[in-house]
Chains A and B, each alone.
Chain A
Amino acid sequence: MRPEIKERIDREIREHPITIYMKGTELFPRCGFSAATVEALRRAGAEGSIHSIDVLADPEIRESIKEYSDWPTIPQVYIGGEFVGGCDITRELYETGELRERIEKALSTAG
């Protein structure tokens, strides 16, 4: 992964409380797993605060993000600069209520 790409991802997930690397955009997801993940984030209180990156529009990010968190699939969710997981884990955290907690904490510290 090129250092500039790593720096860009570092900055992106630090600057935005809730970031999702997905196929398509938050408004127009182009994959069922990406759509379900955005939906879980919205329901957990992230509506209006989701920063989405369309990996279909950026093949280099698509590959680099898999290396970045050693996670081979898309979507990938980052909250408060930390890797949360893909679709399954995000939905599991939604069901336990932990997703809402992490979103609220990230939004509050973002100031």
Chain B
Amino acid sequence: MAGRSIRERVLDRLEQAFEGPVEVRDLTGTDNHFEVRVVSVAFEGKTPVERHKLVYAPLRDWIEDDTVHALSVRAYTPTQNASLNQEGRP
């Protein structure tokens, strides 16, 4: 387990928490500023704030102790993700 990057460990936790595809990008190369993209049915009917809280939840301790210094979140339902893919997704 040791030696794995924070990025990989964030990816693991999110993949365990969500059934859909998860992507984690290191924004600055310092392994502590990430953009995460999650697709899940869990987001259906949820406000943006609720969706982001669902993504923050499995990472809460790392956010609080600054292991994850910055986290940009993109949370989509499967239907949203499908339509984004047609338009060339952000």
Q: Which residues of A contact B (CB under 8 A)?
A: 32-33, 70-73, 83-89, 92-93
Residues A88 and B70 in contact in the complex (CB < 8 Å), given A70-B53, A72-B60, A72-B64: no
Residue ID in chain B nearest A93 by CB atoms: B48
Whether B48 and A89, one on each chain, are in contact in the complex, defined by CB atoms closer than 8 angstroms, is yes
Whether A88 and B63, one on each chain, are in contact in the complex, defined by CB atoms closer than 8 angstroms, is no
Count of A-B residue pairs with CB < 8 Å: 32
**Chain A hits for B52, CB < 8 A:** 85-86, 88-89
Whether B49 and A88, one on each chain, are in contact in the complex, defined by CB atoms closer than 8 angstroms, is no
Bound Cα distance A88, B73 (Å): 7
CB distance from B20 to the nearest CB of A (A): 18
Whether B70 and A71, one on each chain, are in contact in the complex, defined by CB atoms closer than 8 angstroms, is no
Q: Tell me if B22 is interfacial: C-beta within 8 Å of chain A.
A: no
Which interface class (under 10, 10 to 19, 20 to 34, 35 or more) fits B? 10 to 19
Whether A72 and B48, one on each chain, are in contact in the complex, defined by CB atoms closer than 8 angstroms, is no
**Chain B hits for A32, CB < 8 A:** 70
Whether A33 and B70, one on each chain, are in contact in the complex, defined by CB atoms closer than 8 angstroms, is yes
Whether B72 and A88, one on each chain, are in contact in the complex, defined by CB atoms closer than 8 angstroms, is yes
**Chain A hits for B48, CB < 8 A:** 85, 88-89, 92-93
CB distance from B13 to the nearest CB of A (A): 15
Q: Tell me if B56 is interfacial: C-beta within 8 Å of chain A.
A: yes
**Chain B hits for A84, CB < 8 A:** 49
Bound Cα distance A44, B27 (Å): 26
Residues A72 and B63 in contact in the complex (CB < 8 Å), given A85-B48, A89-B48, A89-B49: yes
